Amino acid sequence: MAISKYLESRKNIAGSACGLLGLVLTFTGVAGPYWPVVVAGLYGAGALIAPPERPPLPDFPTPSAQLDELREDFGKLGDYLLEVDLPRAAKHQETDLMLVLAALLEPGWVAEALAQDPEAVHTLSRVVRQDLPEAVDSFVRTRWWTRMTPGAEPPERHLERQLAILQEEAERLAAALRETEARRQESHTRYLEDRSK
């Protein structure tokens, strides 16, 4: 396998081309009696000057594939949140946030627009896979401990602030996508206007 790999390598191809040049020099009489040294030397020189082999790039998932995986994780997050008993205000915030996230992850043109922005995919992934589950889980754990320490700041306040921040982040993401589409529409209008002149 290593031999066949070398035979197809850039070094062998460049060396062989230079070695053929050495044979041409031999048949034209330029190399003289030293033709084996000339052919071998030219092959070696060609192999040395050839660019090194470049390993193939890793096959990372595309943003569209990442969104497919993220949709599955979003479903798992929804199942998890159904099991958690949240206070009424936090439950409303969580429901509103999940509606925005569901709209962003819905297959179709929104997801296609989202897939064009890897940073947006990363932000959405972080909210679904890390920030929202951590906010809810830390609330559940802290709520248990506050029973032992009455008078402490209620964990509901932190959860509500965290959900509000995540809601703002999701809405900024949606607004950025809406703005991108609006710019695209304006650009197409200008193109059509310029074309009709």
Q: Which two tokens stand for residue 109?
A: 């043109």
Place of tokens 């982040």: 169
Cβ–Cβ under 8 Å, residues 87 and 33:
no
The Cα 98–Cα 167 span in angstroms is: 9
pLDDT band at 133 (very low <50, low <70, confident <90, very high): very high
Place of tokens 């030219």: 42
Vertex 79 angle, CA 101 and 77, to 5°: 45
pLDDT of residue 131: 96
Least confident span in 27-36, 85-94, 158-167: 27-36
How is 149-176 classified by DSSP, letter by letter?
A: STTSPPHHHHHHHHHHHHHHHHHHHHHH
Q: At residue 148, does pLDDT exceed 70?
A: no
pLDDT band at 147 (very low <50, low <70, confident <90, very high): low
Q: Which DSSP symbol is given to 38?
A: H
- Write the pLDDT tens digit of every residue in 41-82: 888 888 888 877 777 778 777 777 888 899 999 999 999 999
Q: Kindly tell me the burial class for residue 141, based on how many C-beta atoms sit within 10 Å of its own C-beta (0-12, 13-18, 19 or more).
A: exposed
Among 60, 57, 62, 48, smallest CA distance to 11 is for: 48
pLDDT of residue 73: 95
Cβ–Cβ under 8 Å, residues 143 and 72:
no
- Write the pLDDT tens digit of every residue in 11-40: 888 888 888 888 888 888 877 787 888 888
Report the chain's mean pLDDT, rounded to a whole number.
86
